[in-house]
Amino acid sequence: MANGWSLLVSVVFIVVFCAVAWFASPKGENQTVWRSTLVLSAWACWLMWGTFSSSSLHVMDGRAGQCMQEVLDRRWDIELAGQRRA
C-alpha cells in the first residue's frame, strides 16, 4: 500500500495493539508502567513511520528544489558580502 490508506490502516492496527496491550499487560504493581510503555511506544513508532511515509508520498518536485537553491544562493551572497566589508 503506497497510498494514503496505509496511514489509516496502520492507525487501526495501532489501536488494536494498544487495546490488547492494555488488557494483556502483566498484573501487579508495575501494571501501569507496562501499559504506559507499550501504548506510548506504539504511538511513537507510528508517529515516526507516519511522518516518513507521508513525506515519501509528497516528494519535493523540481520547483521546490529550485526555490530552495535560490534561497541558499541569496544567503551565500549575503554572507560573502558581509565578509568583504570586514
Q: Residue 4: which H helix or E strand, with range? A: none
Q: Residue 19 has what pLDDT?
A: 94
Amino acid found at 75:
R
- Helix or strand run (H / E) with residue 3: none
Q: What is the pLDDT of residue 53?
A: 77
pTM attached to this predicted model: 0.58
Using only C-alpha atoms, the chain has a radius of gyration, in whole angstroms, of 23
Q: With a cut of 70, say whether residue 62 has pLDDT above it.
A: no
User: At residue 57, what is the residue type?
Assistant: L
Euclidean distance between CA atoms 40 and 3, whole angstroms:
25
